[in-house]
Structure 1
Amino acid sequence: MFEKFSKEARAAVVKAQEVARDEHSGVIDSRHVLVALIETPGPAATAVAGSGLDPTDVVRRLRREIRAGDALDADALAALGIDLGAVRERTDAVFGAGALDRAGAARHRRSPGHIPFTTDAKKALELALRETLRLKSSTIDGGHLLLGMLRDARNPAARALSDAGADLARIRHLVENPAA
């Protein structure tokens, strides 16, 4: 399938790996790919900007989510009687400010080699191929990658766009009809 990727789509996949390294992620999920698409000029970035979202704000939110990773869930811990705020305060007092976050980030550092794609990212890439075929395109471009993410509302990238206030149908329309 990768042989059908346009230069732009290949660049987005490479950039997604850079995003993962920048944010100390052990895997690449669809949010990493979305950051790469928004940060790279092309149909996906144009559609996100044209939907009324501030691309810089969306990227900031996505990177924050990615950095948080599987961060401690304050509500889940509270259900067990653990006050995460108190734990953070005590940890900061003993080990210095941000010690708990630094410990979590160190756990996610990987070697500079291959970073695997999550199931949701692989599915989005497969759905991008389906979108390419549906639109009778000869290559998979960044717009198709975005359409693949939007095709499944449970996809983390689609959820992140929705949480940012995006009208996903509008973004889809802008990708499919760039002159609109």
Structure 2
Amino acid sequence: MFERFTAAARQVVVQAQAEARELRHDRIGAEHLLLAVLADPSDPAAALLVAKGLDHAAARAELARRPDPGSDAEALASIGVDLDAVRAAVEAEFGEGALSGAREEPRRRGWFKGDHRPFTAEAKKVLELSLREALRLKEKEIGVRHLLLGLLRAGEGPAVTLVTERGIDPDGLRRELEALSGR
């Protein structure tokens, strides 16, 4: 499927990996794909979101405030343990990155090298739906707008919540993204 991705859409997938790593999230979710789209505001699909008040900095700050869905931090928080406080205490005692588990990473080929994080089921669904959106629009390549259309079609999760919390109508955004695909 990835052979159908445009260079810009491939860059979004690679950037999503970096976004998850920088937020210290264990997996790449749809929210990281959204952040990666917003990282290049010159893309017409990203520009639609920016024009509606959702830019990379605001989205990243909001996601940084929220626990990583499905992470150890969320599970520990449910029993009253603040993983960020534990991490801060350990790093104060043993130095920054003490819990990062510095280890030799296997050599990787392809897009992902080094500190690889797996995709969540939701992110995989978004990628699959982006292909379906491209096919529905009778387009041969999967572009950034198809990734956003796939994200909106998934209809739930932190990424869609972030979009709707900004007052962006998902159906209206979908229509605008579909209009872009004719260009």
Match among 166, 176, 179 for residue 177 of structure 1: 179
One-letter amino acid of the structure 2 residue matched with residue 142 of structure 1: V
The alignment partner of 1:138 has SS state of: coil
One-letter amino acid of the structure 1 residue matched with residue 31 of structure 2: R
* Residue pair 2:53, 2:166 contacting (<8 A) in 1 also: no
Unmatched runs of 5 consecutive residues or more in structure 2: 91-96, 106-113
One-letter amino acid of the structure 1 residue matched with residue 124 of structure 2: K
The two structures have a TM-score, normalised by structure 1, of 0.74
Higher relative contact order, chain-length normalized (CA < 8 Å, sep 6+)? 1
Deviation for aligned residue 1:76 = 5.4
**Superposed CA offset, 1:122-173 (max 9, x none):** 0000000010011111100111001101002223311221123221122212
Alignment correspondent of 1:17: 17
One-letter amino acid of the structure 2 residue matched with residue 8 of structure 1: A
**Superposed CA offset, 1:37-71 (max 9, x none):** 00113133112123343553223213433668744
* Residue pair 1:23, 1:66 contacting (<8 A) in 2 also: no
Structure 1 CA distance, aligned partners of 2:50 and 2:43? 11
Structure 2 CA distance, aligned partners of 1:68 and 1:109? 24
When residues 17 and 108 of structure 1 are mapped into structure 2, their CA distance, relative to the original with a 3 A threshold, is farther
Structure 2 CA distance, aligned partners of 1:3 and 1:123? 17
Unmatched runs of 5 consecutive residues or more in structure 1: 78-83, 92-97
Alignment correspondent of 2:51: 50
**Superposed CA offset, 1:83-136 (max 9, x none):** x6xx87xx9xxxxxx633536x94799963321100000000000001001111
Identity rate, percent:
37
* Residue pair 1:129, 1:140 contacting (<8 A) in 2 also: yes
Alignment correspondent of 1:81: none
When residues 156 and 118 of structure 1 are mapped into structure 2, their CA distance, relative to the original with a 3 A threshold, is same
Specify which structure has the higher proportion of helix.
Answer: 1
Alignment correspondent of 1:99: 85
One-letter amino acid of the structure 2 residue matched with residue 49 of structure 1: V
Alignment correspondent of 1:168: 170
Alignment correspondent of 1:38: 38
Aligned pairs (5 A) from 1:120-135: 120-135=122-137
One-letter amino acid of the structure 1 residue matched with residue 142 of structure 2: I
Q: How many residues align?
A: 163
Alignment correspondent of 1:2: 2
- For the aligned residues, what is the CA RMSD? 3.2
One-letter amino acid of the structure 1 residue matched with residue 85 of structure 2: A
When residues 30 and 109 of structure 1 are mapped into structure 2, their CA distance, relative to the original with a 3 A threshold, is farther
